[in-house]
Structure 1
Amino acid sequence: MSKRVSDLKEEIRTFTEGKGKPVAKFNDEEWTCDFAFMVDITTHLNELNTHLQGNNQLINSMFDHDNTFKMKLCLWESQLENKIFVHLPTLLRCNG
């Protein structure tokens, strides 16, 4: 749902402003970038959740998915410090 709101942010802004009830957060660049980051992280967490579900999963496979995700988090943290947003596409659009 948050991804959809992010994708339709401009349309939502236009609609609410047209109704005379603008959403101030959509005009706040810092909030918009924080929201974009949350969208990207939530997307990655949903992918991890999908990998961990299902019948006949072996614990070692689930363990591998978990460890891989932890390594990705370290990579993304390092990339964020260097303003590299390649794995965070919604945030990348925000920082264009």
Structure 2
Amino acid sequence: MGAEHTALLFFSDAQWLSRGKVLKRMFKLRHEVFCFLNGENHSLADSFSNKDFLLKMAYLTDIFEKLNILNTSLQGNEATVLSWNDKVNAFLRKLELWRNSMESDTLDMFPTLVSMVQDTDNPVLPMDIKSCLLYHLMMLKVHFGKYFCNDFDKFNWIKNPFKMFLGHHL
């Protein structure tokens, strides 16, 4: 079919592709997947010809890529609970920034979604899709807040012991 990729999933270094990379690969192969599903008379073929479905898939591709970057940054020998907290808090601020940007029709932070919107007849994200994506960003922030508590200020002295205010304790 002229695709750059010959396989959807591959096994490398004893690990499967992460979800974000699978979505990215699937999105790149969406035309081939549509042709295959259509040839098999599968009901999912309709989804791959539905613009709303493809816009949501493009958004999820971008979000999972950002989540994979966060996940990777939380791993390694140098990672500590305090550095995790900083990175998660930064990601929460990014979620809020992305939500505010999307409300004002700026989608630059989601390149796959931007390319998909530009490929449609209307160069603006449809309002029902936009509402769905804004809700998802909000709920993502809420769920992150539940899983990662923000009670690490009392440990700031560990990160920078010379910056702490000692007050009347001298």
TM range (shorter): 0.7 to 0.9
Q: Structure 1 or 2: larger helix share?
A: 1
State the shift of 1:75 in Å: 0.8
CA distance in 2 between counterparts of 1:16 and 1:6 reads 14
% identical equivalent positions: 32
CA distance in 2 between counterparts of 1:56 and 1:8 reads 37
The answer as to 2:79 corresponding to 1:57 is yes
State the shift of 1:94 in Å: 1.3
So what's the TM-score if we normalise by structure 1?
A: 0.87
Equivalent residue number for residue 108 of structure 2 = 86
Alignment of 1:5-84 (within 5 A): 5-17=26-38, 19=39, 21=41, 23-84=45-106
So what's the TM-score if we normalise by structure 2?
A: 0.52
CA distance in 2 between counterparts of 1:73 and 1:34 reads 17
Deviation sequence 1:35-73 (CA, Å, 0-9, x none): 111111111111101011112323222111111101110
The root-mean-square deviation of aligned C-alpha atoms, in Å, is: 1.5
The structure having more radius of gyration, on CA atoms, is 2
How many pairs does the alignment contain?
A: 95
State the shift of 1:76 in Å: 0.7
Larger RCO (alpha carbons 8 Å, 6+ apart)? 1
